[in-house]
Structures are given as structure tokens and as C-alpha cells.
């Protein structure tokens, strides 16, 4: 949300684009436009920019593939731990019918494995878009209307990752992930070693908000009707139920991918969240339907 607020301040068009996206989302969910997106599986070509200084930061192809596998399982509701969803909410679990595939051709039409490796002289990156620019030691995005761009690097300041919501600058559109919170093997480290940081951030890329609405006083909301309003983020591995904001008896849906709990404690998107993501693909990210 720090990045979201920065873009609102620095890019006047982003605020207008986000407002248009919200109007479109409300219409698409009620008119059936979002549901039509879900009639088939949408495949998102994906490029992973591995920006590294130390050898350990130059993660393996196997680690990259493990992340894509985890992402696909989560978005298709085929993750084995989906069985842990509490009984009151099992009926809300939904398959987003979105599939991510490492790109097989680059922007020039040449064959690729979907991984770009860039050596940098920077020890780490922070919030902001330095990792997305060659001049600041990063890697330039591939066309963001054709590829989901993911930058994997060492992040400072305790950051696990961040994403750009729809409607922001094209040159910086995509997701940034800490290399030790990426994938399920190699350098991936507990408690963020099941690929859920990227699942969470791609949710933002598809216009999902945090389930607490980014307020800390019960006044927020994520604009999705089937996720209970909650006071703020949950962390670690909570025990069900966690009751806040008069949401008893079941409390916060902390096992939702759009909370802040450990990877092993999150394992679901709801039908309402899927509708919102489908609306995003029908509107601001419709180039991926071509």
C-alpha cells in the first residue's frame, strides 16, 4: 500500500484509472461480464526477472518453476491445504480459472525459458521501482500488456514483496518479490517458503485488496461481499476463530491469501474475490484475454 499511495501522489492518471476500474468492476460483476471471463481458463504469459549480486541470489530454474507451480495450484484451488479451510467457509472456496505460464517467446519473437537474469552491483532494493530500471541496477519490463512481469531480488527493510495495481504506469507494471520468499525450494525460507507471497501480490495485480481494507479501526473493507470485515492484518499462524469488528462467530478470514499470515496458514480465495479478479481481466487487464 506504500507503493499504491506513492503512485496516487506521483501519477494523477493512476487515481483516475483506479476510479474507473472500480466503476467497471461493480458493473462487470452484476452484468455477467466477469462471469464470462471464467467460462474458460485464462493463461497469463509470465516473465521472471532474476536480479542478483551474490551467487545465491541467482536462483535456479527449478526454484522459479516451483513458484509457478504453487501459483497455479493456488489460483485453481488445487492446493492440497485447501482442505484446512474452516467448515463455515468451505463453500466459498473458488477456482479463479487463471493459469500462469512462463513465456516461451520474448518480445522479439525469439524462444525463451521465461527467465531473464541480470547481474547488479546493488546489495538490495527497496520500495519503489529501481529494480525495474536498467539505469538503477535492475531489469526493464517486457511489454506489460502481454506479460506478467515478476522481479525477484534482495529487498531491504523487511519487505517480502509488492505489486502495482491496475492502471499504473506501464513501464513499471508487475510484481516484485524477495528471493527468499519465492518458490518452494532452493533459497525459499520458512515461514515464507510455499510461494504464497507471490499469490498474495498477484492478487493485488488483479485488483484485490487486503481483507481488512487497509484501515485499523473496522471502517475499511476490501470491496468483496463474502470476506468478513476485520480490524487489521493477522500474522503468524492464528487459531480459528479470531473475532474482531463484531464478526463473530467465525471472525476474520485470516486463511485468505489477502491477509498477512505465514504461508502455511493461508490457502483460499473466495468466490467474490474471483469475481473481482475476473472483472479486472474483463476490464483494465483485458489485453490478457487476446
C-alpha cell at 84: 484446512
pLDDT at site 2:
85
Alpha helices (H) in the chain, listed in sequence order:
2-10, 12-31, 33-37, 61-75, 196-205, 271-282
**Residues with a known catalytic role:** 201
pLDDT at site 1:
86
pLDDT at site 58:
98
**Has residue 152 been placed in a domain?**
yes
**Has residue 17 been placed in a domain?**
yes
Whether the model pTM is above 0.85 = yes
Backbone angles phi, psi at 141, to 5 degrees: -65, 145
Q: In total, how many domains does the chain have? A: 1
Q: Which domain covers residue 87, as residue numbers?
A: 2-285
**Has residue 168 been placed in a domain?**
yes
pLDDT at site 78:
98
**Has residue 228 been placed in a domain?**
yes
Left if phi > 0, otherwise alpha if psi is -120 to 50, otherwise beta: which for 214?
left
Distance CA 145, CA 140 (A): 14
Q: Which helix (H) or strand (E) holds 67?
A: helix 61-75
For each of the chain's 290 residues, which pLDDT tens digit applies?
A: 888 999 999 998 999 999 999 999 999 999 999 999 999 999 999 999 999 999 999 999 999 999 999 999 999 999 999 999 999 999 999 999 999 999 999 999 999 999 999 999 999 999 889 999 999 999 999 999 999 999 999 999 999 999 999 999 999 999 999 999 999 999 999 999 999 999 999 999 999 999 999 998 999 999 999 999 999 999 999 999 999 999 999 999 999 999 999 999 999 999 999 999 999 999 999 999 97
Distance CA 247, CA 88 (A): 13
Which of 192, 177, 199 minimizes the C-alpha distance to 262?
192
**Has residue 290 been placed in a domain?**
no
pLDDT at site 257:
99
C-alpha cell at 118: 541480470
**Has residue 127 been placed in a domain?**
yes
8 Å CB contact between 200 and 263? no
What is the CA 218 to chain-centroid distance, rounded? Answer: 24
pLDDT at site 290:
74
Please report, for the domain that includes residue 252, its CATH number: 3.40.390.10
8 Å CB contact between 71 and 99? no
C-alpha cell at 70: 504453487
Amino acid at each position: 500500500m506504500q507503493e499504491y499511495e506513492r503512485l496516487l501522489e506521483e501519477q494523477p492518471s493512476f487515481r483516475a484509472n483506479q476510479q474507473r476500474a472500480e466503476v467497471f468492476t461493480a458493473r462487470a460483476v452484476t452484468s455477467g461480464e466477469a462471469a464470462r471471463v471464467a467460462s474458460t481458463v485464462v493463461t497469463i504469459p509470465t516473465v521472471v526477472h532474476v536480479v542478483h549480486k551474490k551467487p545465491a541470489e541467482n536462483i535456479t530454474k527449478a526454484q522459479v518453476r516451483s513458484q509457478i507451480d504453487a501459483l497455479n495450484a493456488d489460483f485453481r484451488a488445487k492446493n492440497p491445504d485447501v482442505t484446512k479451510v474452516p467448515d463455515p467457509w468451505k463453500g466459498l472456496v473458488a477456482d479463479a480459472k487463471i493459469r500462469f505460464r512462463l513465456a516461451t517467446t520474448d518480445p522479439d519473437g525469439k524462444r525463451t525459458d521465461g527467465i531473464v537474469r541480470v547481474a547488479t552491483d546493488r546489495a538490495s532494493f527497496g520500495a519503489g521501482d529501481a529494480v525495474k530500471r536498467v539505469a538503477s541496477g535492475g531489469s526493464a519490463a517486457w511489454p506489460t500488456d502481454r506479460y506478467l512481469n515478476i522481479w525477484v531480488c534482495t529487498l531491504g527493510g523487511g519487505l517480502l514483496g509488492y505489486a502495482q495495481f491496475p492502471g499504473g504506469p506501464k513501464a513499471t507494471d508487475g510484481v516484485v518479490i524477495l528471493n527468499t520468499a519465492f518458490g518452494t525450494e532452493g533459497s525459499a525460507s520458512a515461514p515464507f517458503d510455499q510461494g504464497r507471497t507471490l499469490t498474495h501480490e498477484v492478487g493485488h495485480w488483479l485488483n484485490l485488496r487486503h481483507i481488512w481494507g487497509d484501515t485499523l479501526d473496522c471502517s475499511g473493507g476490501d470491496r468483496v461481499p463474502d470476506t468478513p470485515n476485520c480490524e487489521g492484518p493477522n500474522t503468524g499462524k492464528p487459531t480459528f476463530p479470531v473475532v474482531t469488528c463484531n464478526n463473530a462467530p467465525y471472525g476474520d478470514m485470516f486463511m485468505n491469501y489477502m491477509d498477512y499470515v505465514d504461508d502455511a496458514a493461508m490457502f483460499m480465495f473466495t468466490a467474490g474475490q474471483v469475481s473481482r479478479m475476473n472483472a479486472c481481466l474483463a476490464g483494465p487487464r483485458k489485453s490478457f484475454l487476446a
